[in-house]
Amino acid sequence: MTIPNKFSDMQNSEFHQFFVEELRDIYGAELSLVKALPKMQEASTSEELAAAFYKHASDTQLHIENLERIFDLLDEESDSKKCKAMEGLIQEAEEIISDTEKNSYTRDAALILAAQKVEHYEIATYGTLKTFARNMGHTEVAELLERTLVNEKTTDETLTEIAEDFVNSQAATE
């Protein structure tokens, strides 16, 4: 008599497959973002914003490693999927760089806007994926997703602080 394997049955479910596809999508997003952040750092006027982008690039590498660990835990291939949403957000950031004056706080304010759009996309994605993982009983996966979610929220708060502390007021006087 064969005993049913609950994990194997779950892996074949439509919900689980959707979950894995969305993990691949955010994995692709993070792989794209880690390449874009140094360009945003270089385009920054203020040292504080450049440092925030540098830190976020480092954090993004950790997010990539967390996702690779999640794929291992789920016994899934860590294939990335092209994330159209992130592609659009990065393209928007590149347009901001080309459309704003170099060494201006207006550029920094615009870069913060672009970066916060990215953060909000990531926060929504990681929050939902964490909930999916919990619903399927993937406790360790949910914990890894929670860690990344907290980090994304912290990055968003840091960007807000930089904008509110001086970038927006400096931009308004240019």
CB 163 within 8 A of CB 109: yes
CATH assignment, 14-172: 1.20.1260.10
What per-residue confidence (pLDDT) applies to 87?
97
CA torsion sign for 162, 164, 170, 174 is positive
What per-residue confidence (pLDDT) applies to 13?
86
Q: How far apart are CA 163 and CA 68, in angstroms?
A: 33
What per-residue confidence (pLDDT) applies to 174?
94
Tens-place pLDDT, residues 84-100: 999 999 999 999 999 99
What per-residue confidence (pLDDT) applies to 10?
64
CB 153 within 8 A of CB 59: no
pTM for the complete prediction? Answer: 0.91
User: How close are the terminal C-alpha atoms of the chain, in Å?
Assistant: 77
Query: DSSP letter string over the chain?
Result: -PPP-HHHHHHTSHHHHHHHHHHHHHHHHHHHHHHHHHHHHHH-SSHHHHHHHHHHHHHHHHHHHHHHHHHHHTT--------HHHHHHHHHHHHHHHHS-TT-HHHHHHHHHHHHHHHHHHHHHHHHHHHHHHHTT-HHHHHHHHHHHHHHHHHHHHHHHHIIIIIHHHHHT-
Tens-place pLDDT, residues 105-133: 999 999 999 999 999 999 999 999 999 99
Structure tokens at 62: 């950790």
% residues pLDDT > 70 (the chain): 94
What per-residue confidence (pLDDT) applies to 81?
92
